[in-house]
Amino acid sequence: MAAKNAGPELPTKEYAVSIGLIALLDDVAGLAKVAAASLDDVAAQAGRAGIKAAGVVIDDAAVTPRYVVGFAAERELPIVGRIALGSLRNKLLFLLPAALALGAFAPWAITPLLMLGGAYLSYEGSEKVYEALFPHQAHEAKRDASAGDAQALEDQKVSSAIKTDFILSAEIMAITLAALPEGSIWMKAAVLAVVAVGITVAVYGGVALIVKADDAGLAMAANTSRSAFGSLVRGIGRALVKGMPGFLKILAIVGTAAMIWVGGGILVHGLESYGLPQIGHAIHAAAVGAANVAGPLAGTVEWLVTAAGSGLVGLVVGAALIPVTSFILAPAWNSVTRLRTKSA
């Protein structure tokens, strides 16, 4: 009788452990799905933001090779590596925290800073155009008298490259931050970090390939094989050696155009956000009008006209900034530098 009135049988210890383990594994699987979705989201957002910064990336890749010109072949890759490490330090240690702080505490400052960077890019690009049309003493600092020391010259070049990269990297990070949707600060940090590392690897990996292409061409041209494949290798090597100077010139032109186009586009979008959409509307109307008569090339033509309109804005603004920089900003900066040198 007592057995009939007994309650339900309690689960054994082993059964309870099994149930707990299954629940834990289910939780782990759920967390893994969330993590995978988050990683996919980070990758997708990083890809979209990276595309928006493509113009600055092109300019970064176009500018850097000039810093290794004139050095021994064995020093080219180490110099590129030093600049790449400096670029990564700029992005991860300084610009990423600054971007997150701006997004959290002063989001209103992002657009003005973007426009300031756009004005700088427009100035740099326009100054290069001016230098090409009317050769004059470049606005960059002259080499120190100590430049005869190879190590001192290398250090000077690397330092100059990293300073230039800081400005371009700041623009890349600002564009990335502005392109991100609302989300947690950790998601934004992850996306910014992915963009920073990805762009640095892409830019300086490409630069390394560019600066060593002529050496690779020389090695290929020296191939002594008498086979058809050997002849092909020698032909490609000679083409690389002969073609690299022209390629570098084209790259410089593309980089200059990218600076002006990106800078002008940033300024146009900035004006729109401040309630001055007239220039942006005019460029859009011209692009749509051109696309309507372009037939199957409508999309390409619309993009080209939009880029040309933004580039025209960047060229005008940059040209206006050349005398301002030459006669006001540069002398003022030189005065401050001299005062600091005297007081040191």
Domain ranges, ordered by start, for the chain: 32-339
pLDDT of residue 213: 86
What is the pLDDT of the chain when averaged over all its residues? 78
- Closest listed residue to residue 321, CA positions, set 112, 59, 117: 117
Count other C-beta atoms under 10 Å from residue 135's C-beta: 8
Does the pLDDT of residue 144 top 70, yes or no? no
Residues 6+ apart with CB under 8 A from 114: 171, 174, 175, 178, 266, 270
Angle between helices 185-221 and 96-105 (to 10 degrees): 150
For the ranges 25-39, 94-108, 262-276, which has the lowest average pLDDT? Answer: 25-39
- Given a cut of 60, whether residue 289 has pLDDT beyond it is yes
Which span out of 63-72, 133-142, 256-265 was modeled with the highest average pLDDT?
256-265
| pLDDT, average across residues 281-302 | 92
> Is the pLDDT confidence value at 3 over 80?
no
Q: What is the mean pLDDT of residues 222-247?
A: 86
Percentage of the residues of the chain whose pLDDT score is greater than 90:
19
User: What is the helix (H) or strand (E) element at residue 324, kind and residue range?
Assistant: helix 298-324
Q: Is the pLDDT of residue 35 over 50?
A: no
According to the model, what pLDDT value does residue 279 have?
Answer: 95
Report how far residue 342's alpha carbon sits from residue 344's, in angstroms, rounded to the nearest whole number.
Answer: 6
Residue 332 has pLDDT above 70, yes or no: yes
pLDDT-derived band at 141 (thresholds 50, 70, 90) equals very low
DSSP 277: -
CA angle 315, 243, 124 (to 5 degrees): 20
Instruction: Identify the pLDDT of residue 222.
Output: 87
Q: How confident is the model at residue 248 (pLDDT cuts 50, 70, 90)?
A: confident
Of 148 and 39, the structure prediction assigns the larger pLDDT to 148
Confidence band, pLDDT 50/70/90 cuts, at residue 330 = confident
- Lowest-confidence region among 7-16, 99-108, 175-184, 212-221: 7-16
**Averaged pLDDT for residues 71-86:** 86
Rounded to whole angstroms, how far apart are CA atoms 68 and 296? 43
Percent helix / strand / coil, the chain, rounded to 5: 85, 0, 15
Quick one: pLDDT at residue 146?
44
Residue 38 has pLDDT above 80, yes or no: no
- 318 vs 225, which has greater pLDDT? 318
Lowest mean pLDDT among 111-115, 165-169, 296-300: 165-169
- The pLDDT, as a whole number, for residue 306 is 92
